[in-house]
Chains A and B, each alone.
Chain A
C-alpha cells in the first residue's frame, strides 16, 4: 500500500544538539515531498518541499532535508536545535496531481531539553 512512514513517534534532543527526523515513503514514482511543523495549539506551517533537482533542500528556521531515491527517504535535519523547535513535525506527499491532496505521516513529536 502507498504510505508515508515516520518511524519515530517521539524524539528528545538537547538544546544545541543536531537533529534528524526520518521519513520514508512507498510509491512507485517519486512524489512531491513536504515537511510541515505544528506548534502546540496551532495549524501546520510549511518548512520545506522537494519536487526535483538538487536532492538537498533548504527550508525555513534553519532546517534542511535530503531526498534519497535509493532509500525512499526524505529526512529532515537541523545542525543545532533551539528550544523553540519543540513541536510536532509531519512529513507529507502529493501524488494525485491536479488536486494537490496531501498524504501525511503520523508525525514525530520533538522535545528539547536544556
Chain B
C-alpha cells in the first residue's frame, strides 16, 4: 500500500552541488507533479508530466530539471543548488480517469542548501 514514495526524506547540500530527488508511484497513474512548499506561499508547481516520456514547466521551473523515463518514476534534478532552493519538495500523481481526479501526495523531501 505504498502509493507515492519520495527519496530521500532529508538532504543537506552545499551551494553548487547537484542532486536528484526520486518519486515513485505504484498506482499506474499517468500524471505526476513536483511541487515546492515554502512558508506562507502554499505549494507551487515546479514541473509536471502527463505521461511517460513527457514533461512540462509549471509555475517555478527555473533551476530544476525533470525526467519521466518510466511511467512509475518522476525525477527532479538540481544541477547547481542555490540557497533559494531550500524548501520542502512534494511529489504527487493522479489518474486520467475523468476531470478533477485527486492528486496523491508523497510525504515530502526536506532539502537544505547551505
Contact = CB atoms under 8 A, between A and B. Distances in A.
B31 interface: yes
B100 A101 contact: no
Contacts of A100: 31, 94, 99-101, 103
Interface string B32-62: 0100000011111100101000001010000
Nearest to A32: B100
Contacts of B92: 43-44
A104 B90 contact: no
B30 to A, nearest CB: 10
B40 A44 contact: no
Contact of A90 (B31, B43, B108): B43
A101 B33 contact: yes
Given A34-B102, A51-B99, A107-B42, A101 B107 contact: no
Nearest to B102: A46
B35 to A, nearest CB: 8
Interface residues on B, range: 20 to 34
A104 B46 CA distance: 13
Nearest to B49: A99
B105 interface: yes
A102 B45 CA distance: 8
A97 B42 CA distance: 21
B44 A102 contact: no
Given A9-B40, A43-B107, A101-B48, A51 B90 contact: no
A101 B40 contact: no
Contact of A97 (B4, B58, B99, B107): B99
11 contacts: A43-B90, A45-B105, A46-B103, A49-B100, A51-B100, A98-B50, A99-B31, A99-B50, A100-B31, A100-B99, A100-B103
